[in-house]
Amino acid sequence: MKPGIHPDYHPVVFQDSSNGDAFLTRSTITSERTVQWSDGNTYPLVMVDVSASSHPFWTGAKRVMDTAGRVEKFHRRYGRRDGGGSR
């Protein structure tokens, strides 16, 4: 690597603001906030809205879909067809 052109790559703690889970990793991001980690060292703290510990895809939490309401909205917008079969 060419010296002097790369940003500082250092340990940073990312904390999920929705559930409080935190993880230590390395990043180039900077922050004024700091936190003392379990190893006794102090690291920059970056708050994130969503992480793997709170994202519905990774947690398996399912969203409740209002399919009946969506179908009715479709019928109001585009009308209801009478009769089945082809045109």
Alpha carbon separation from 62 to 49, 58, 78 (Å, rounded): 18, 10, 29
* Domain, as residue range, for 44: 10-78
Q: pLDDT by residue (tens digit) across 39-83?
A: 999 999 999 888 878 776 666 666 555 566 777 788 888 887 765
Residue 32 pLDDT > 90: yes
Q: pLDDT by residue (tens digit) across 6-31?
A: 888 999 999 998 888 999 999 999 99
Bridge partners (DSSP) of residue 44 are: 34
Is residue 54, in this structure, part of any structural domain at all?
yes
Q: Per the structure, how many domains does the chain have?
A: 1
Bridge partners (DSSP) of residue 27 are: 10
Is residue 49, in this structure, part of any structural domain at all?
yes
Residue 33 pLDDT > 90: yes
Residue 84 pLDDT > 60: no
Is residue 2, in this structure, part of any structural domain at all?
no
Q: From CA 62, how far away is CA 58, in angstroms rounded? A: 10
